[in-house]
Structure 1
Amino acid sequence: MDEALSEIEFLSRSANRVLVLECLAEDRYTRGELGEEIGASQATLGRILEDFTERSWIRHDGTEYVATATGRLVAGSVTDLLESLETETKLREIIDYLPTHAMDFDLEHLSDATITVPTQTRPSAPLREVLAVMEDATHLRVFSHAFNEQSIEIVERRVRTGAQTFEAVLSESAITAIADNQTLWEQLQSLASADDGRLRVRADGVPLAATLTNDTVVFLLRDGRGLVQASLASSNDRVYQWAVETHDHYWRTAASFDPEQYDATIS
C-alpha cells in the first residue's frame, strides 16, 4: 500500500502529470503537440515524459508518445478518483441535508448537478429554483413530505387554466399541515379535483422532496427543523430514471386523496 500511496502522491503533486497521462491514454501525441495541449514548458514536459517512461506508463513510438496498458490503467483510475473527489467537494456543504438512505443511485451521478444555497442577498434562492421549474413545466410530477404555499398557488393556477398536468404523492404529514390553513386547503382541493390534477397520499411517508419535469429532477433539501437549506437539480439520466421509478412506486403504494377524511380529522 505504501508504494501505491507514493505513486498517488507523485501524480497529485502536479496537475500537468495527470493531464499528460490522460492525453496519452486517449491518443498519440508528439512532444510538441503535448506541450500545446497542456500548456507546459518543454523542460517540464521532458521531466514528466522521462518519469512516465521509467514507470513504463508510456512508450516512445517514433516521433510520438502513447500510453502503455498499465499507463491506461493508471490514467483511468486517477480520472475516476478525481471525478469522485470533485463530486464529493461539490456535495460536502449539503451532504447533511441529502437523504442518501432514500437515494438508490451512486452519488457520482450527481457530478453535474446544480446546487443552490441561501445567501444573505437571496435567502429564498433554493425555493425559487423549484418554483421556477414548477412555473415552466407542462407536465409536473412531485413526491414530497411538504408542499408549501407558493408551490400550491403556482400548480393550482396552472392546472386550473390547462397549462399543466400534475401528479403528486404527498405524505400524510404534508396533507395535515395544509389542512390547517383554510386558504391552502381550498386550493389543494381545487387542484385535486381538476381534470389534470392527480393527488395521492402515502401513509408510510415520503422521506424526501422531489419535483420532476420532462428531463430534470429538483430536490429541495431541508434540515431537521424543516428549514430549506438547498436545492439540487440534476438532468443525469440515471438520477432522473431513479426519480421516475420512485414516483411510480410511491404512487402505487399511496391512497387516493379524500378531503372528507381530513375534514373529519381536523374539525
Structure 2
Amino acid sequence: MGSTAGSPIDDIAYLARSEHRAPTLVALTVRPRSRSELWEMTGVSSSTIRRTLSEFEDRNWIRRNGYQYETTPLGAFIADAMAELIERVETERNLRHVWHWLPGEESGFTIEMCADAVVTVAEADNPYGPLHRFLTLLRETDRFRFVGSDLALLEPCRDEFCQRVIDGMQTEIIDPPSVARYIRSTYPELSAETLASGNLTIRLHDDLPPYGIGIFDHRIAICGHDPDSVTVRVLVDTDSPEAREWAESEYSFYRRQTPTVPLETVMEL
C-alpha cells in the first residue's frame, strides 16, 4: 500500500532528485515497458531501475502486468504534471536571460506562447545565430510582414532579403521614418530595384515597439535587439496559433495607423 507520509513537496523532490525518475514514469504512460527496456532507455544500472520501480509501486504509481510495468491512473496523473513542469522549466531556462528583450505582458504576449518555440540566442561563439535563423524562415515563406525597428535584423541580411522581394516575395514593412531614410540613402540602387519590383510595400510609423514582429507563411517570429549596439540578441519563432493571433493583432494595430507610402515618396526619403 502506498505511503502518504511526508508532504507533496517530498514526492516532487523524490522525482526531481534523480534525472531518470520522471522520464521513467512518463515513459510508462505511453505504453507498458519491461524492466530491461527501462534500464536501456534511462542508462542507469539495473539495480537502480529495479529500486525505482519498487518505489513507484510503493506509491501506487505503477503496477506490474506480467514482465511489464504500466502506470496506474494515479501515476499517469503525476507523470502528466511532471512532464508539463519540465516543459515549463525548459521554456523558462531558454528565455531566462533574454526575456527583457521581448514584448511585455501589457502587450498581451505571454510566456505560454513560447512553450514550443525555437529560441535562438546570440551567443559568444555564435553571435549571428538569430540572423541565420531569420534567413531560414525567410527562405521558406512567400509572404512576409514586419513591424518594429527592423534595422538590426534586416541590415545584415539586406542582399538576400532584397533578392527575395525582387524574386516575388510579397512583403509589407512598417518602419520608423529614420530607418527608411537610412536604408534609402545608404543603398540607393538596391533600394530602388527592390521598390521597383512592386512586391514591397512600406508604411511609416513614428512610435513603434522596441522589438520586432515578423509574420511568415507558417510561423511568426519576435526579434529582440539591443538598441545601443544595434544587434539582434534573440529570435523567438513559433507556429503556435495563440502567438500568431497575437502577432496578427499587433501588426493590424500599427497598420491601421499608417497609410501606404507612395513609391515616389519612399524614393525621396
Matched AA of 2:231: V
Counterpart of 1:90 in structure 2 is: 94
Counterpart of 2:217 in structure 1 is: 214
Taking a change above 3 Å as real, the CA distance of residues 57 and 202 of structure 1, as seen in their structure-2 partners, is same
Taking a change above 3 Å as real, the CA distance of residues 189 and 143 of structure 1, as seen in their structure-2 partners, is farther
| CA deviation map 1:4-47 (0-9, x unaligned) | 11111111111222122112222222333333333333321221
Contact 1:234 1:240 in 2 (8 A): no
2:22 maps to which of 11, 15, 18: 18
Counterpart of 1:176 in structure 2 is: 178
Counterpart of 2:50 in structure 1 is: 46
Cα distance in structure 2, aligned partners of 1:139 and 1:85: 34
1:234 aligns with 2:232: no
The aligned runs of 1:188-203 (5 Å cut-off) are 191=194, 194-203=197-206
Q: State the 1:137 CA deviation.
A: 4.3
Q: State, as a whole percentage, how many aligned pairs show the same letter.
A: 21
2:31 maps to which of 27, 32, 38: 27
Counterpart of 2:3 in structure 1 is: none
Cα distance in structure 1, aligned partners of 2:245 and 2:53: 43
TM score, norm. by length of structure 1: 0.78
Matched AA of 1:221: G
Cα distance in structure 1, aligned partners of 2:183 and 2:19: 57
| CA deviation map 1:68-117 (0-9, x unaligned) | 11111111111111111111111122122122333534446344414130
1:144 aligns with 2:165: no
Q: Supply the RMSD in Å over aligned alpha carbons.
A: 3.3
Secondary structure of 2:235's counterpart equals: strand
Secondary structure of 1:18's counterpart equals: helix
Taking a change above 3 Å as real, the CA distance of residues 203 and 190 of structure 1, as seen in their structure-2 partners, is farther
1:109 aligns with 2:114: yes
- Structure 2 runs not aligned, ≥5 long: 1-5
Counterpart of 2:11 in structure 1 is: 7
Cα distance in structure 2, aligned partners of 1:190 and 1:10: 64
Cα distance in structure 1, aligned partners of 2:200 and 2:184: 19
Q: State the 1:142 CA deviation.
A: 1.0
Matched AA of 1:69: P
Cα distance in structure 1, aligned partners of 2:211 and 2:69: 50
TM score, norm. by length of structure 2: 0.78
- Structure 1 runs not aligned, ≥5 long: none
| CA deviation map 1:187-218 (0-9, x unaligned) | 66775565222222335423421223322333
Taking a change above 3 Å as real, the CA distance of residues 259 and 196 of structure 1, as seen in their structure-2 partners, is closer
Cα distance in structure 1, aligned partners of 2:177 and 2:138: 19
